[in-house]
Amino acid sequence: MIEDMLRTPSAVRDAERYTAHNYHPLPVVISSAEGAWLTDVDGRRYLDCLAGYSALNFGHRHPTLVRAAHEQLDRLTLTSRAFIHDQFADFCRELAALCGKDLVLPMNTGAEAVETGIKVARKWGYQVKKVTPGQANIIVADGNFHGRTTTIVSFSTDDDARADFGPYTPGFTVVPYGDLAALEAAIDENTVAVLLEPIQGEQGVVLPPEGYLPGVRRVCTDRNVLFIADEIQSGLGRTGRTFACDHEGVVPDMYLLGKALGGGIVPVSAVAADADVLGVLRPGQHGSTFGGNPLACAVATEVVRLLATGEFQRRSAELGERLRAGLEGLLGSGLVAVRVRGLWAGVDIDPALMTGRQACERLMERGVLAKDTHGSTIRLAPPLVITSDEIDHAVAQVAAVLAG
């Protein structure tokens, strides 16, 4: 039997047997990758249309990033922040310049960046805004996804992420995403920040109403509240601009970055803000053993340099229009809604046809890997190195799946 010769079934069984079931992965076992393509343990190739939730914006094993990692591995990988290493200043300076901010605080994961942003906002509130001690509050949006720590899930509206993980951390007010009036009404004398995703990725690539982000910026300025933009998925070229906020000319007080910053090689995250915000931290008040380590900085500095050329932002914008046109051509033929910003698409399938999971399983069978979310919605987020022909191929496979 051919199936008896395949490695995938046993590898899937072992993964199910020996890991906690906090994920429900597609039954594919990847062994190598390059650019926008993945190869499984049985030699079958797949077009990657997830890109590690934007962690692989520059594709798999981008040669510039791999070279930087190899060179750094041969010299120095970790010192801790007890000392300064020779990659640190370049990374912080160049990322700060890319963001147009004074300072950078490096961490490891996106959730750590969000937690750092929360802590900084609270401390700024007490030290600068002079809110009531112990009463700082932060406004967030429903449908948000900012990570999975106990504090972050405390203000999630997703039952899967939140249920049974209480008691929950206080200090957050949830308002409808896109409702500027509700956001403004929720601000009180102890509000220190508004924390938003400029585009809600996990919710299905939900775009904000036109004018919403500029309105949030105006309200935050008028009410002396920090605007924190979680650009962990949406930032660093994904949407056709360096940041999703750039589409409406909005500059937040604080950027939360991650995923693509590590080039798909190491976990790297960061908070970027001006000195009057990040400057509230003093030695001993926040830190991370691996945050800003030499290996991470070497890779992330090259990521920043790739973005500084503007090439990947342009590719995302141009190829995103091709992706949009292809997907919108399927409206009425199994798709009921399409949302696209750059190379990031949320695709709503007619639930009478299939669930998002079923669609992803059928795409996998046709050599395309994507991820479902919330019922009959799938997300497409290919690496920014994808070609126009590969975009057309991905859309053709979506069409074939819809046609049954």
Query: Tens-digit pLDDT profile for the chain (404 aa)?
Result: 455 689 999 999 999 999 999 999 999 999 999 999 999 999 999 999 999 999 999 999 999 999 999 999 999 999 999 999 999 999 999 999 999 999 999 999 999 999 999 999 999 999 999 999 999 999 999 999 999 999 999 999 999 999 999 999 999 999 999 999 999 999 999 999 999 999 999 999 999 999 999 999 999 999 999 999 999 999 999 999 999 999 999 999 999 999 999 999 999 999 999 999 999 999 999 999 999 999 999 999 999 999 999 999 999 999 999 999 999 999 999 999 999 999 999 999 999 999 999 999 999 999 999 999 989 999 999 999 999 999 999 999 999 999 98
Q: What is the pLDDT, as a whole number, of residue 350?
A: 98
Q: Which of 52, 192, 35 is nearest to 117 (CA)?
A: 192
CA dist 363 and 399 (Å) reads 10
pLDDT at 41: 98
**pLDDT score of 1:** 46
Contact assessment for residue 230 and residue 53, using Cβ atoms and an 8 Å cutoff? no
* DSSP string across 134-157: T--EEEEETT-----SHHHHTT--
Domains of the chain, each with CATH number or no CATH: 2-61+311-403 (3.90.1150.10), 76-308 (3.40.640.10)
Cβ-contact 299, 265 below 8 angstroms? yes
Enzyme catalytic residues: 145, 230, 259
pLDDT score at 4: 63
Residue type for 399, please?
Answer: A
- 322 three-class SS: helix
Q: What is the pTM of this model?
A: 0.97
Q: Measure the CA–CA gap between 278 and 299, rounded to whole angstroms.
A: 24
| Residue 288 structure tokens | 């991370």
Helix H or strand E encompassing 40: strand 37-40
